[in-house]
Amino acid sequence: MAVFIHKDRFYFFLIPMGNRYFVLTPYFIRKDIFKQSRQWYTNKIAKHKRQRQILNCTVYTAFREVKGDEMGTVFSVSKISKQYGQQTVLKDVSFSLREREILGLTGGNGAGKTTLIRLITGVNQPDSGEIDIAGKTEDRYRKIGTLIERPAIYKDMSAIDNLRYYGKLLGLEDEKKKAEAEETYKALLEKAGLSGCGKKKAGRFSTGMKQRLGIAIALLGDVTCLILDEPFNGLDAAGISELRSLLLRLKEESVSILITSHQISELTQICDRYVILDQGRIVFEATHEELREQAGGDEKIESLIVKKLGGE
Amino acid sequence: MKRLIKASNYKLRKNSSIKIGAAATICVVILGFLLFYAALHILTGPMIEAAGGDETDLNAFDDIHLLDCAAIALSLMQVLAIVLAIVITLLISGERKNGVYALMAAKGYTRSQIYADKLYEACLVCLVLYVSYVAAALLIGGILWHGPIETDMVTGFIKIFFLMAFMYMAIAAIYLAVAMNVRNGGAAMAINLLLVLVLSTAVTAIDTGLFDGQIILRKWWIFSAIEQYAYLEITTKEIIISILNILIYGGAGIVAGGAVFAGTELK
For chain A, the structural domain boundaries read 2-67, 73-308
Which pLDDT score is estimated for A170? 83
Distance from CA of A169 to the nearest CA of B (A): 5
pLDDT in tens, A139-172: 667 778 888 878 888 888 898 999 989 888 888 7
In this structure, CATH architecture of domain A73-308: 3-Layer(aba) Sandwich (3.40)
Q: List the single residue in A118, A152, A168 with the smallest CB-CB distance to B98.
A: A152
The pLDDT-based confidence of B73 (bands split at 50, 70, 90) is low
Do the Cβ atoms of A158 and A204 come closer than 8 Å?
no
User: What is the end-to-end Cα distance of chain A in Å, rounded?
Assistant: 47
Q: Is A146 strand, coil or helix?
A: strand
Contact criterion met (CB < 8 Å) for A152 and B10? no
The pLDDT-based confidence of A301 (bands split at 50, 70, 90) is confident
Interface with B, mutate which of A75, A137, A156, A219 (most B CBs under 10 A): A156
- Chain A residues with CB under 8 Å of B98 CB are 150-154
Taking residue B75's Cβ as centre, other Cβ atoms within 10 Å add up to 17
Q: Is B44 strand, coil or helix?
A: coil
Burial of A145 (0-12, 13-18, 19+ CB in 10 A): buried
Q: How far is C-alpha B135 from the chain's CA centre?
A: 14
Which chain B residue shows the shortest CA-CA distance from A223?
Answer: B107
Which chain B residue shows the shortest CA-CA distance from A151?
Answer: B98
Sequence-ordered alpha helix ranges (H) in chain B: 2-14, 16-42, 45-50, 66-75, 77-98, 100-106, 111-144, 151-181, 185-211, 236-263
B108 part of contact set with chain A, CB < 8 Å: yes
Average pLDDT of every residue of chain B = 76
pLDDT (average), residues A285-308: 77
Closest among A80, A79, A82, A54 to A68, alpha carbons compared: A54
Which chain A residue shows the shortest CA-CA distance from B11?
Answer: A165
User: Can you tell me the distance from the alpha carbon of A103 to that of A115, in angstroms, rounded to the nearest whole number?
Assistant: 17
User: Can you tell me the distance from the alpha carbon of B47 to that of A311, in angstroms, rounded to the nearest whole number?
Assistant: 82
- Could you tell me the CA-to-CA distances from B255 to A85, B96, B151, B202 in Å, in that order? 25, 19, 39, 22
Q: A with B: how many residue pairs have Cβ under 8 Å apart?
A: 73
B103 part of contact set with chain A, CB < 8 Å: yes
* Residue B168, amino acid: Y
Q: What total number of domains does chain B contain? A: 1
Contact criterion met (CB < 8 Å) for B99 and A149? yes
* Residue B92, amino acid: I
- Chain B residues with CB under 8 Å of A84 CB are 265
- The b/e string for B209-222 (b: 16+ C-beta within 10 A; e otherwise) is eeeeeebebbbbbb
Which chain B residue shows the shortest CA-CA distance from A147?
Answer: B103
pLDDT in tens, A44-59: 666 665 555 444 444 4
- Chain B residues with CB under 8 Å of A156 CB are 14-17
Contact criterion met (CB < 8 Å) for B104 and A169? yes
Contact criterion met (CB < 8 Å) for A149 and B105? no
A131 part of contact set with chain B, CB < 8 Å: no
Q: How far is C-alpha A179 from the chain's CA centre?
A: 29
Q: Which residues contact A267 (CB under 8 A, 6 or more apart)?
A: A104, A106, A259, A261, A274, A305
Contact criterion met (CB < 8 Å) for B108 and A122? yes
- Chain B residues with CB under 8 Å of A171 CB are 3
Contact criterion met (CB < 8 Å) for B3 and A161? no
pLDDT in tens, B176-189: 999 988 888 889 89
User: Can you tell me the distance from the alpha carbon of B215 to that of A173, in angstroms, rounded to the nearest whole number?
Assistant: 53
Contact criterion met (CB < 8 Å) for A164 and B102? no
Distance from CA of A182 to the nearest CA of B (A): 15
Phi, psi of A70 (to 5 degrees): -100, 120
- Chain A residues with CB under 8 Å of B105 CB are 121-123
User: Can you tell me the distance from the alpha carbon of A277 to that of A210, in angstroms, rounded to the nearest whole number?
Assistant: 28
Rounded to 10 deg, the angle between the B185-211 and B151-181 helix axes is: 130
A292 part of contact set with chain B, CB < 8 Å: no
Give the rounded percent of residues in chain A with a pLDDT score beyond 70. Answer: 73
Contact criterion met (CB < 8 Å) for B106 and A165? no
Closest among B196, B218, B229 to B84, alpha carbons compared: B196
pLDDT (average), residues B55-82: 59
- Chain B residues with CB under 8 Å of A152 CB are 95, 98-100, 102-103
Distance from CA of B176 to the nearest CA of A (A): 19
- Chain B residues with CB under 8 Å of A217 CB are 103
Do the Cβ atoms of B131 and B189 come closer than 8 Å?
no
Which chain A residue shows the shortest CA-CA distance from B6?
Answer: A168
A171 part of contact set with chain B, CB < 8 Å: yes
| Helix H or strand E encompassing A91 | strand A87-98
Q: Which of A4-8, A157-161, B82-86, B182-186 has the lowest mean pLDDT?
A: A4-8
Which pLDDT score is estimated for A246? 82
Give the residue, B73 or B144, on which the prediction is more confident: B144
Q: List the single residue in A141, A168, A217 with the smallest CB-CB distance to B7.
A: A168
B11 part of contact set with chain A, CB < 8 Å: yes
- Chain A residues with CB under 8 Å of B11 CB are 154, 157, 165
Contact criterion met (CB < 8 Å) for B11 and A124? no
Contact criterion met (CB < 8 Å) for A146 and B103? yes
Pairing of strands A256-260, A102-107: parallel
Q: Does B128 have pLDDT greater than 90?
A: yes
Q: Which of A5-14, B48-57, B175-184 has the lowest mean pLDDT?
A: A5-14
- The b/e string for A80-98 (b: 16+ C-beta within 10 A; e otherwise) is bbbeeeeeebbbebebbbb
Q: Is B207 strand, coil or helix?
A: helix
User: Can you tell me the distance from the alpha carbon of B93 to that of B180, in angstroms, rounded to the nearest whole number?
Assistant: 7
Closest among B243, B264, B225 to B83, alpha carbons compared: B225
Burial of A238 (0-12, 13-18, 19+ CB in 10 A): exposed
A228 part of contact set with chain B, CB < 8 Å: no
- DSSP-derived letter for residue A138 is G
User: Can you tell me the distance from the alpha carbon of A103 to that of A113, in angstroms, rounded to the nearest whole number?
Assistant: 13
- Paired with A105 in beta bridges are A260, A275
Taking residue B260's Cβ as centre, other Cβ atoms within 10 Å add up to 14
Which pLDDT score is estimated for B126? 93
User: Can you tell me the distance from the alpha carbon of B234 to that of B243, in angstroms, rounded to the nearest whole number?
Assistant: 13
Burial of B165 (0-12, 13-18, 19+ CB in 10 A): middle
Which pLDDT score is estimated for B204? 63
The pLDDT-based confidence of B224 (bands split at 50, 70, 90) is very low
User: Can you tell me the distance from the alpha carbon of A249 to that of B218, in angstroms, rounded to the nearest whole number?
Assistant: 66
B47 part of contact set with chain A, CB < 8 Å: no
Do the Cβ atoms of A201 and A157 come closer than 8 Å?
yes
Distance from CA of B104 to the nearest CA of A (A): 8
pLDDT in tens, A171-219: 877 766 777 888 888 888 888 778 888 888 888 888 888 888 888 888 8
Contact criterion met (CB < 8 Å) for A121 and B14? no
pLDDT in tens, A63-114: 333 333 445 777 888 888 888 888 888 888 888 888 888 888 888 888 888 8
User: Can you tell me the distance from the alpha carbon of B177 to that of B96, in angstroms, rounded to the nearest whole number?
Assistant: 13
Owning domain of residue B200: 2-263
